[in-house]
Structure 1
């Protein structure tokens, strides 16, 4: 009420000032009274707003942690609230995979609670540092959760995909001999007298999936290699490929 009265008084003085019916000091006094009254109203509204507890985002409430009528101090937990759509998933990748992931890459996550569903999303953020103890980097992805089937705290299996498929040469894991001085495979070829012999070839290996090893360099598609029994071979040794149980396989994409 005081603010309304001060506003009306200020408007009257404002209308009379151009007509020189009031002095400049009367105008300044009316304006100061109106500003002070409006400030008191703002203060009262700020105090009133503190009586209502509001979350800074929309979400779903959990179990209430206080009772009605209970006095709560500053910082007392009242109720758990979580934003479920979209929802974040945090996971880690080895530091060697850091150059292969970027923000915006597609992500597919699965959870034990909903086995038949794949939840799709994108990489939202990549941590700027690598954990010195585990040598892993933290990744955060945003998943669509319109049906709100995902909940915070769930264990998820996450697959980060690249926008484009990379075609690489792969060989069976048993075909690679891992050595401190370099990994190698035995390649089957023919010498001058058309006899099949094995040659030791140094290769650079990549990821291993489903007992298949990616060969980044050192081997071309279509070459024939020995898939097992490497300990019994030596470079330049003559070999014969059996028709029934072949000891060699072709490198494939």
Structure 2
């Protein structure tokens, strides 16, 4: 019995020492935690600015008018009046076909027309001279009727000659192939002496100003677009240059397979820098926020579950969830979040910060 009590006493003393030691350890840990140094951070600032929401689409430039002229009359090429790749005005002569036979036919028809007109004139005079004679029965009614019939036949012949003359003049005009609109002619593929038949290709003419681009737009943005609205365009050939244009067409129907609608824009090309077939990137401003709240992009932390920034109040980091709008390389628009203009946000040191942690701001760096 006495042996057992002697063993129990040392055990009780050990337990008491352990309890006292544990209490001292927790107190020491709290003191250490309270005295841990603040995390150094560099701050930026939430700012208001004008933010434009921009629709970015791609498309291919095309000419408003691009035609291949074809021969409408048969004949030999006697003159090529254009230089390939040069600008031409509407109505300029491009190619002349041999027209000697047609011109000879026109002269013959004109002579025949003069002859018939002279005959008709004489017949009308004879008819008028004989009108009082038939009234006095000095000539028969049959003779008078024959004169009227001859006049009708002459007039019919005149109508036929006029029709043939108009046809030959049309054929003559077809031997002169002219530019249907102002533009640039394409490559020359024929020479003097070539024989053309109706339908043979002669040369292409392309209208380069303005050019047109077509692109698809999501149906949700249809209320944001209107005819005459400005667009901007960039191409790889001139990466630093922005070309301007306006919306010229908005499709009245939605493509149910893509839930988009077609939009066309006319692009100014007075300097002839752009060419049909170029791949282009189009930008259209769909909305404007004059006083949008933004934060430096460097301050934003994005995870699969959340997007947030750390702001600083009384040297304590505070985690603020946000919802973003437009994002650029330098800043991001804040659509939702407990932030005010001028609020400091952590730029450097954000990944080391925790909600409620003491921080030591080093400087405030304004972001543009």
Bin the TM-score by the shorter chain. Answer: 0.5 to 0.7
The alignment covers a number of residue pairs equal to 239
Summarize the Cα distance change of 1:110–1:201 in structure 2 as closer, same or farther, 3 Å threshold: closer
**C-alpha separation in 2, matches of 1:227 and 1:31:** 100
**C-alpha separation in 1, matches of 2:340 and 2:226:** 29
* 1:198 aligned to which of 318, 338, 341: 318
TM-score normalised by L of structure 2 = 0.48
Please name the residue that 1:54 is paired with.
178
How far apart are residue 178 of structure 1 and its match?
6.0
Asked whether the 8 Å contact 2:320–2:337 carries over to 1, the reply is: no
How far apart are residue 143 of structure 1 and its match?
2.9
Please name the residue that 1:34 is paired with.
158
**Residues 126-148 of structure 1, C-alpha deviation per residue, up to 9 Å, x if partnerless?**
45555957x77654332333333
TM-score normalised by L of structure 1 = 0.64
How far apart are residue 64 of structure 1 and its match?
0.5
* 1:213 aligned to which of 320, 326, 332: 332
Summarize the Cα distance change of 1:218–1:116 in structure 2 as closer, same or farther, 3 Å threshold: closer
Summarize the Cα distance change of 1:49–1:186 in structure 2 as closer, same or farther, 3 Å threshold: same
SS at match of 1:166: strand
**C-alpha separation in 1, matches of 2:301 and 2:279:** 34
Question: Rg bigger for which structure?
Answer: 2
SS at match of 1:103: coil
Please name the residue that 1:244 is paired with.
362
Please name the residue that 1:3 is paired with.
113
* 1:222 aligned to which of 341, 348, 368: 341
Please name the residue that 2:275 is paired with.
151
SS at match of 2:113: helix
Q: Which runs of 5+ in 2 are unaligned?
A: 1-109, 132-143
Aligned alpha-carbon RMSD (Å): 4.6
Asked whether the 8 Å contact 2:315–2:359 carries over to 1, the reply is: no
Q: How does 1:73-222 map to 2 (within 5 A)?
A: 75-84=199-208, 86-90=209-213, 92=215, 95=218, 98-111=222-235, 113=237, 117-127=241-251, 128-129=253-254, 139-161=263-285, 165-167=288-290, 168-173=292-297, 175=300, 177=302, 179=304, 184-186=307-309, 188=311, 198=318, 200-201=320-321, 203=323, 205-218=324-337, 221-222=340-341
Q: Which has the higher contact order (CA 8 A, sep 6+)?
A: 2
Summarize the Cα distance change of 1:130–1:178 in structure 2 as closer, same or farther, 3 Å threshold: farther
Asked whether the 8 Å contact 2:113–2:158 carries over to 1, the reply is: yes
**C-alpha separation in 2, matches of 1:58 and 1:158:** 27
Q: Which runs of 5+ in 1 are unaligned?
A: none
